[in-house]
Amino acid sequence: MDMSKTLLNTALFFVATQLCVQATVIYPIGDSSFWGTVSWTAINGLNDPDDGLAEQLDFVGDATTPGAYWGIDDSYVYFRMRLDVGLNPSFSDSHFVLFDVEGNINPDYAFAWDSNSNDPDKHGLEMLILDTTDGTWGGTKMDDIDGSSGQKGVLDINGNSRTTDGYVRAEDDIGSDTDFFGKTTFLDFAVSLSYLSNNVPAMVTNSNWNVQFATIANANDHGFLSADIAGGQTPGSTITSSSWSTIAIPEPTAATLIIGFGASLLVIRRIFEK
């Protein structure tokens, strides 16, 4: 037996196997070089069963393969949602990371990826505020922070020709065939802390964020939350304190606070000048 050929064939088989299981990374919003190594922490309260929805809308996760994560560094806060689609995900929907930072149970803000109208100059990754709610998830609707449903205003993520406020990426073929959910896809969000300090100061001055995920099927981010809600919730579920999972955001740096304070004064001045 030619041992060198055997070793070579074994090495080639190993490389081929590794290539077969390597995830495909798709960058829906922003420069792919932005994404480095993120230290992820699971948000186990948002684990969710397979609800049988269209896969790109269906949050899934359990204690072994968590369905939600978050992370933070000196510049960005990150969120990750696990979706039931495994290979070649196709999106034309809206995905939300919802926040209650005021402690009033209802959503105050959201990061939304609008892939139904995914023109990054007008839609794409957006910052939203509460529009209306009837106390259920399905009766809740968010609106653009800048009040414009068709343009990127100065207050929006990546508005006013900025390009580094926020990023979105999708990574498919996650997990193994022995996982309870089979192959899944990660959808990741990154939003700049300086953007939040400048435009949504309540999010950096309130250190406890209640977090929830939601989707809207085949529509932009201005409709009611109609598809899936994480943590075992449904659009028909009543919004309660137990509907949320709480994360503790570290105190912002002095530099971030100074930037945010200056931006807040600018916003106040604009309000009084109207």
Structural domain contains residue 13: no
Structural domain contains residue 182: yes
- Taking 80 as the threshold, does the pLDDT of residue 179 lie above it? no
Structural domain contains residue 260: yes
> What pLDDT does residue 120 have?
62
Domain count, the chain: 1
b/e burial code for range 38-56 (CB count within 10 A of at least 16 → b) = bebebbebbbbeeeebbbb
Structural domain contains residue 45: yes
Q: How confident is the model at residue 12 (pLDDT cuts 50, 70, 90)?
A: very low
Structural domain contains residue 8: no
> What is the reported pTM?
0.83
The number of beta carbons lying within 10 Å of the beta carbon of residue 4 is 8
Q: Provide the residue range defining the domain that includes 98.
A: 24-273
Give the least confident one: 6-15, 82-91, 152-161: 6-15
Strands of the chain (E only): list them: 25-29, 41-42, 68-72, 76-83, 94-100, 109-114, 124-132, 141-144, 166-174, 184-192, 208-216, 245-248
